[in-house]
Amino acid sequence: MSMPGYRAQTAADNKAFAERASRVGKAPVPPGLPSAQEVVTAIDGVLQCENFYSPAAQDALARLVIVREQFAASIKGE
């Protein structure tokens, strides 16, 4: 197999593995957890802050940490 063919096959294998391993879109969000829109909003709030020491950035980061902890708790409960 040529190097480009090997790279293409490896990329295809990695993509297939990632799709099989991912739970995104395959199961409903358990009750009590934030929706995907709330997660996106929390992440966007952090990424859009120019000054990470500002109160707005600290609030956005706190919201993101809360969302992360809610998801982590649900994963441990399974």
H/E run at residue 4: helix 3-21
Mean pLDDT of 52-74: 78
- When pLDDT is cut at 50, 70 and 90, the band that residue 30 belongs to is low
Percentage of the chain lying above the pLDDT 70 cut: 78
- The encoded tokens of residue 38 equal 């709330």
Q: Is the dihedral of CA 37, 40, 42, 44 positive or negative?
A: negative
Q: CB under 8 Å to 31, separation ≥6 — which residues?
A: none
Domain extent, residue 8, equals 3-76
Look at the chain and report how many structural domains it folds into.
Answer: 1
